[in-house]
Structure 1
Amino acid sequence: MPVPKKKPTTQSSDGSTPESSSNTLPEQEEFRQHLRCLAVSAVQVLIEQVMREELEQCIGASWGEYTPHRRGYRNGSYTRDLITPTGRIEDLKVPRDREGVFHSQAFERYNRYEPAVAEALTQMFVAGVSTQKVGEVTQTLMGVAPSASAVSRLNQTLTEQFEIWRQRGLQSHYRVVYLDGVHFTVRHGTQTDATMILTALGVDLEGNREVLIFRASAEESKEGWSALLQEMRTRGVNQIDLIVTDGHDGLLAAIADLFPATLRQRCLVHKQRNVMSAIPKREQQEVMTELKGIWQQEKKDDALVNLAAFKAKYQKRYPEAIRSLTEDEEHLLTFYAFPSVMHRYIRSTNAIESLFSNVRQRTDQIGAFTTETSCLTIVWAVMQDIRLPKIPVG
Structure 2
Amino acid sequence: MTQFNFTLDMDILKDSVMNSNIDAVVKSTIVLVLNEYMEKERDEYLQAASYERSNDRVDYRNGYYEREYTMSLGKIKLKVPRTRQGDFAPSVFEKYARCDQALVLSMLEMVVNGVSTRKVTNVVEQLCGKSVSKSFVSSLTSKLDPIVNEWASRPLNTKYYPYLFVDAMYIKVREHHRVVSKAVYIALAIDEDGRREILGLKVDHNESFKSWSAFFQSLISRGLQSPKLIVSDAHEGLKKAIQQDFVGTSWQRCNVHFKRNIVEALPKKGSEDAISLLKSMFAAEKMDALRSLKDIFFKTYEENPKYQKALAILDEGFEDSIQYMNFPIAHRKSIRSTNSVERLNEEIRRRERVIRIFPNTQSAFRLISAVLISYVDANKYWNRKLFSVEKS
TM-score over 0.5 (shorter chain): yes
What is the deviation of 1:287? 2.2
Distance 1:290 1:154, change over 3 A: farther
Query: Partner of 1:164 in structure 2?
Result: 150
What is the deviation of 1:361? 0.7
What is the deviation of 1:95? 7.8
Query: Partner of 2:15 in structure 1?
Result: none
Query: Partner of 1:106 in structure 2?
Result: 89
Residue 217 of structure 2 is aligned to residue 236 of structure 1: no
Query: Partner of 1:369 in structure 2?
Result: 358
Give the Cα–Cα distance (whole angstroms) in 1 for the partners of residues 110 and 44 of structure 2: 31
What is the deviation of 1:134? 5.0
Distance 1:133 1:216, change over 3 A: closer
Query: Partner of 2:108 in structure 1?
Result: 123
TM-score normalised by structure 2 residue count: 0.70
Distance 1:256 1:147, change over 3 A: same
Query: Partner of 1:183 in structure 2?
Result: 170
Residue 383 of structure 2 is aligned to residue 389 of structure 1: yes
What is the deviation of 1:367? 0.9
Query: Partner of 1:196 in structure 2?
Result: 183
**Pairwise CA RMSD:** 3.0
Name stretches of at least 5 consecutive residues in structure 2 with no aligned partner. 1-42, 47-56, 63-82, 377-381
Q: Give deviations 1:167-212, integer Å, cap 9, x for gaps.
A: 3211362121001101111012432111001121111111221211
Query: Partner of 2:235 in structure 1?
Result: 248
Q: Give deviations 1:91-133, integer Å, cap 9, x for gaps.
A: xxx9869x97212353464599888655322323556798766
SS in 2 for 1:205: coil
What is the deviation of 1:321? 0.7
Q: Give deviations 1:120-160, integer Å, cap 9, x for gaps.
A: 22323556798766554433322234432442233123211
Aligned residue identity for 1:309: I
Query: Which one is further off, 112-121 or 279-288?
Result: 112-121
Are the counterparts in 1 of residues 45 and 88 from structure 2 also a CA contact under 8 Å? no
What is the deviation of 1:323? 1.0
Query: Partner of 2:300 in structure 1?
Result: 313
SS in 2 for 1:356: helix
Residue 251 of structure 2 is aligned to residue 264 of structure 1: yes
Distance 1:145 1:310, change over 3 A: farther
Distance 1:280 1:355, change over 3 A: same
Are the counterparts in 1 of residues 121 and 134 from structure 2 also a CA contact under 8 Å? no
Give the Cα–Cα distance (whole angstroms) in 1 for the partners of residues 225 and 290 of structure 2: 32
SS in 1 for 2:164: strand
Give the Cα–Cα distance (whole angstroms) in 2 for the partners of residues 116 and 255 of structure 1: 45
Percent of residue pairs identical: 29
Give the Cα–Cα distance (whole angstroms) in 1 for the partners of residues 262 and 342 of structure 2: 20
Give the Cα–Cα distance (whole angstroms) in 2 for the partners of residues 260 and 313 of structure 1: 38
Are the counterparts in 2 of residues 201 and 209 from structure 1 also a CA contact under 8 Å? yes
Counterpart among 260, 265, 287 of residue 273 in structure 1 = 260
SS in 2 for 1:265: strand
Are the counterparts in 2 of residues 126 and 385 from structure 1 also a CA contact under 8 Å? no
Give the Cα–Cα distance (whole angstroms) in 2 for the partners of residues 212 and 143 of structure 1: 40
Query: Which one is further off, 377-386 or 276-285?
Result: 276-285
Query: Partner of 1:138 in structure 2?
Result: 124
Query: Partner of 2:80 in structure 1?
Result: none
Counterpart among 152, 155, 166 of residue 138 in structure 2 = 152
Aligned residue identity for 2:191: D
Greater RCO (CA < 8 Å, at least 6 residues apart)? 2
Aligned residue identity for 1:392: F
Give the Cα–Cα distance (whole angstroms) in 1 for the partners of residues 177 and 337 of structure 2: 39
Aligned residue identity for 2:336: R
Give the Cα–Cα distance (whole angstroms) in 1 for the partners of residues 273 and 106 of structure 2: 51
